[in-house]
Amino acid sequence: MLTQTTSRVLEPSDLDAALAVLGREPVANAFVTSRVQVAGLDPWRLGGEMWGWYEDGMLTSLCYAGANLVPVCATPRAVRAFADRARRAGRRCSSIVGPAESTAALWRLLEPHWGPAREVRAHQPLMVTDRMAADTAPDPYVRRVRKDEMETIMPACVAMFTEEVGVSPLAGDGGLLYQARVAELVGAGRSFARLDEQGRVVFKAEIGAATNQACQIQGVWVAPEYRGRGFAAPGMAAVLRYALTDVAPVVSLYVNDFNTAARRTYTRVGFREVGAFMSVLF
């Protein structure tokens, strides 16, 4: 029995305790929870390690350390322990992302060693809803992307990622990992789009992280030539309807605070702000 405060890499036998921590904040933790529910805590399947922080023998905080570094229900002492472990291991992630308070504290400790970051997005409103807005009808032309439409949806996904993150997902491995993730969402029926008469993507979005308690909409994008023409809100309403009907009773997303147009759209279709995330991009 662990009787002092300590941190360690979790093992598959720690799964139930980890899920109990994740279950304390099902909306904020949806990304990590969805990965753990599918892959467990085996680092190879999970795509990274899960670090645990114990107080008086009880697991109280987590940190997912993979392509992203994500603090989970992290107390100030846990943040310090995770920062120490991350500093010793060296930076292997492309971003730090999570609830704003704990992520900011983690970055303050890591910045002298890992900085400078390419970009810091200190306040990204976390928005949720559990119902459809009464005054925004879903776009009837938004539908699930079929498995044989990868060549159609992939350029739109690349354009969205590049515009949002500031680098192309095709860099490095030529986009193999990114294409595999897009294909995974398409195969799971969680990729949605509206196409125009020429078969080009007008609007797209995905339901990324998904648990039985909450899911997260991501990758919302309208083709530049169609912006300002009223496709975003009905498109989001359509994806929201799919999410609430087929995936989870609560739907969330997080958005850059400077993206006022997107925030207006999400508010219009029923989302409300309940907290904030923060992202540190390398």
Kindly report the CATH number assigned to the domain that includes residue 171: 3.40.630.30
Structural Rg of the chain based on CA atoms? 19
Q: Helices 30-39 and 15-22: crossing angle, nearest 10°?
A: 160
Statement to judge: residues 112 and 210 lie in one domain: no
Domain with 97 in it: what CATH number? 3.40.630
Domain coverage including residue 42: 6-116
Is position 245 within any domain? yes
For residue 14, what pLDDT is reported?
A: 97
Q: Are 107 and 120 in contact (CB under 8 A)?
A: yes
For residue 263, what pLDDT is reported?
A: 97
Is position 160 within any domain? yes
Is position 122 within any domain? no
For residue 172, what pLDDT is reported?
A: 77
Statement to judge: residues 90 and 184 lie in one domain: no
For residue 210, what pLDDT is reported?
A: 97
For residue 175, what pLDDT is reported?
A: 84
Final residue in a domain of this structure, among 79, 98, 116: 116
Is position 240 within any domain? yes
Determine how β-strand 191-195 pairs with β-strand 143-144: antiparallel
Statement to judge: residues 107 and 169 lie in one domain: no
Statement to judge: residues 263 and 148 lie in one domain: yes
Domain count, the chain: 2
List of the chain residues with pLDDT < 50: 1-2
Closest-CA residue to 216 (of 258, 176, 185): 185
3-state SS string for 54-87: EECCEEEEEEEECCEEEEECCCHHHHHHHHHHHH
Model pTM score: 0.92
